[in-house]
Amino acid sequence: MAILELKTIHAGYGKKEVLRGLSLSVEPGTILALFGGNGAGKSTALRVIAGVIRPWSGSILFKGQDICGLLPHEIRRLGISYLPQNGRVFKSLTVAENLSLAGQNQRGTRGGFVFPLMRDLSSRRAGLLSGGERQMLSIELALRKKADIFLLDEPTAALSERLVRTTLDRLTQIAKEERTGVILVEQNVEEARRISDTEVYLQLGKDMAKQ
202 lies in some domain: no
- Quick check: is 90 in a domain? yes
Confidence of residue 109 (pLDDT cuts 50, 70, 90): very low
Half-sphere exposure at residue 34, Cβ-oriented, CA atoms within 13 angstroms? 29
User: Which range marks the domain in which residue 74 is found?
Assistant: 27-53+69-196
Top pLDDT among 199 and 88 is at 199
Q: Is residue 14 part of a domain?
A: no
Q: Is residue 44 part of a domain?
A: yes
Asked, for residue 60, whether it belongs to a domain, the answer is no
Confidence of residue 137 (pLDDT cuts 50, 70, 90): very high
Residue 2 lies in a domain: no
* Structural domain contains residue 7: no
The total domain count for the chain is 1
What pTM value is reported for the model?
0.89
What residues contact 115, with CB distance under 8 A and at least 6 apart?
136, 139, 140, 163, 166
What is the pLDDT at residue 113?
Answer: 78
Residue 34 belongs to a domain: yes
pLDDT tens track for 43-56: 999 999 999 999 99
Q: Give strand pairing partners of 185.
A: 153
Kind and range of the H or E element at 10? strand 4-13
Residue 211 has pLDDT above 60, yes or no: no
Task: State residue 145's pLDDT score.
Answer: 81
CATH number for the domain harbouring residue 86? 3.40.50.300
